[in-house]
Amino acid sequence: MLNRIDDYIFEVPIGHQKGMRVPGRIFISERLLEQVESGTLDQVANVATLPGIVNYSMAMPDAHLGYGFPIGGVAAFREDGGVISPGGVGFDINCGVRMLRTDLLAEDVAPMMTNLVEDLFHDVPSGVGAKGRLRVSEHELDEAFTRGAAWAVEAGFGVPEDLEHCEEGGRMEGAKPDQVSLKARKRGRPQLGTLGSGNHFLEIQRVDEIFDDDLAKRFGLFRGQITVMIHCGSRGAGHQICTDHLQVLSRAVKKYGIELPDKQLACAPLGTPEAENYFGAMAAAANYAWANRQIISAWTREVFERYFPDARLDLVYDVAHNVAKVEEHEVDGSRERLYVHRKGATRAFGPGRPEIPMAYREAGQPVIIPGSMGTPSYVLCGSAGAMRLTFGSACHGAGRIMSRTQAKKTYAGAEVKDVLTRRGIKVMATHPKMLAEEAPEVYKPSFEVVDVVHHLDIARKVAKVVPLGVSKG
């Protein structure tokens, strides 16, 4: 059913599904491909039927079943004749990850690890319905929706340099807070500055391995260094925004006479009010998520400064894993403005792109790929292959291989915690069952997906970091 194009590129032919406008392309190893469910391949084919799709419906090596679009899906649509779809972004709009580098050595931090994790767990609220330490006003909430991390910095969370080291400067243009429902506002207001649940985490790590000395130096990373990773998204606000606009776009499908193989692909033609309103609301959720990670970073710095008053915690970079953006790409030899949907995929721009901060522009964009609890995370660097093959995109991590329900039956939270403790990893969570659901064994290891994008020169391996202390919902 699949055509092999290359060692790591497989094609879903146009015949796979009625109405496909372009083929599908999966960037994956043969070994990983064996583990991809047939439903995921069908979803890649379904996305290929959407109007205005450019080149291919793409999937990254960590692809798995999602709502409409696969998680690990990348799809770009031309401005003229294309569509925008909430399914191509996901419910957790701008779920993303940022990495802070310290000037501390693992051996110096080790004695304080318990204190640090306990304080982080206490000072950064987490859990499903977590409400924050913050009491933002309606006006401040609007500021977060409109100006994201830029507002957070002005409000005293972090420094202006942080913004340079965020995708989009931590603030997406075009946000429309008036397209955020009262319900989404009500959910979002008390949750600003909270971590959330599931695979979201706040982690203290040690740089364990450097793959590329020059790139590591540019990113300010060295072996034995302490880093901090923050993985979270737009909480209930983004979820509600997605839910609200899916309803609107389901009606738009009929109104504009779009034929879909799956209702979950609800979308609207670019330029219509429905499409513009979703885009504006999505941008508001993305900004909320950037503000959220910015606030959490400030509290993380406060905790470290308690024990290491002179420590520096500089932002390496902050990437979005779930977002749709307008970007220029080369299509058939000419530059075109495209709406690039990334769902469980990271932007991975190669050297020279103006979107990359000056400090990294010659090298390429830092690509941050979190591991699951207790497993390594990776830093890569966007490369030329991404611009040629994937509209400047790479994988985002490793997908689950066991359902939450099955995980709870198979593992006991307390035991998972014991095993991690014996491996020298201090873990705190709001509930033991969360630890069972997030046991390291329920996820595919990240290194396999990372190796695929490295081999394709989509993103080059720079560093591997291992967890030392984890705070989870």
Partner DNA sequence: ATGTCC
Catalytic residue among 64, 239, 396, 454: 396
Q: Annotated binding residue at 286?
A: no
62-121 residues in contact with DNA (CB under 7 A) are 91-92, 95
Q: Rank residues 4 and 186 by Cβ distance to DNA and give the closer one.
A: 186
The Cα-based distances of 169 to 10, 79, 166, 296, 393 in angstroms read 35, 23, 5, 17, 18
Residue from the set 64, 189, 239, 301 that interacts with DNA by CB under 7 A: 239
Q: Annotated binding residue at 231?
A: yes
Q: Annotated binding residue at 363?
A: no
Residue from the set 240, 300, 393, 446 that interacts with DNA by CB under 7 A: 240
**Cβ 431 to DNA, closest distance in Å?**
8
In this structure, are residues 104 and 311 in contact, taking their beta carbons and an 8 Å threshold? yes
Q: Rank residues 235 and 454 by Cβ distance to DNA and give the closer one.
A: 235
Distance of alpha carbon 183 from alpha carbon 411, whole angstroms = 36
**Cβ 187 to DNA, closest distance in Å?**
6
Size of the site for DNA (CB under 7 A): 22
388-427 residues in contact with DNA (CB under 7 A) are 404
Residue 396 a catalytic site member: yes
Q: Rank residues 147 and 239 by Cβ distance to DNA and give the closer one.
A: 239
Q: Annotated binding residue at 396?
A: yes
Q: Annotated binding residue at 202?
A: yes
**Cβ 286 to DNA, closest distance in Å?**
14
**Cβ 197 to DNA, closest distance in Å?**
3
Q: Rank residues 231 and 461 by Cβ distance to DNA and give the closer one.
A: 231
Q: Annotated binding residue at 341?
A: no
Q: Annotated binding residue at 77?
A: no
Q: Rank residues 43 and 191 by Cβ distance to DNA and give the closer one.
A: 191
In this structure, are residues 91 and 239 in contact, taking their beta carbons and an 8 Å threshold? yes
Q: Annotated binding residue at 431?
A: no
**Cβ 266 to DNA, closest distance in Å?**
15
Q: In this structure, what are the phi and psi dihedrals at residue 304, rounded to the nearest 5 degrees?
A: -60, -40
Residue from the set 51, 129, 351, 445 that interacts with DNA by CB under 7 A: 129
In this structure, are residues 199 and 372 in contact, taking their beta carbons and an 8 Å threshold? yes
Residue 111, C-beta contacts closer than 8 angstroms, at least 6 positions apart? none
Q: Is 128 in the site for DNA (CB under 7 A)?
A: yes
Q: Rank residues 37 and 173 by Cβ distance to DNA and give the closer one.
A: 37
**Cβ 233 to DNA, closest distance in Å?**
6
Q: Is 321 in the site for DNA (CB under 7 A)?
A: no
Find tokens 């030899």 and name the residue.
Answer: 333
178-237 residues in contact with DNA (CB under 7 A) are 183, 187, 191, 196-200, 232-233, 235-236
**Cβ 43 to DNA, closest distance in Å?**
15
Q: Rank residues 82 and 132 by Cβ distance to DNA and give the closer one.
A: 132
Which class for 184: exposed (0-12), middle (13-18), buried (19 or more C-beta within 10 A)?
buried
**Cβ 369 to DNA, closest distance in Å?**
15
Q: Which amino acid is at 443?
A: Y
Q: Rank residues 3 and 247 by Cβ distance to DNA and give the closer one.
A: 247
Q: Is 278 in the site for DNA (CB under 7 A)?
A: no
Angle at 318 between CA 312 and CA 322, to 5 degrees: 155
Q: Annotated binding residue at 322?
A: yes
Q: Annotated binding residue at 398?
A: yes
Of the CA atoms within 13 Å of residue 275, those in its CB half-sphere come to: 21
Point out the residues that are catalytic. 396
Q: Which residues are annotated as a binding site?
A: 92, 199-203, 231, 321-322, 370-373, 377, 396-399, 472
Q: Which residues are annotated as a binding site for GMP?
A: 199-203, 321-322, 370-373, 377, 396-399, 472
Q: Which residues are annotated as a binding site for Mn(2+)?
A: 92, 200, 231, 321
Applying CB under 7 A, the residues found at the interface with DNA are: 91-92, 95, 128-129, 183, 187, 191, 196-200, 232-233, 235-236, 239-240, 404, 438, 473
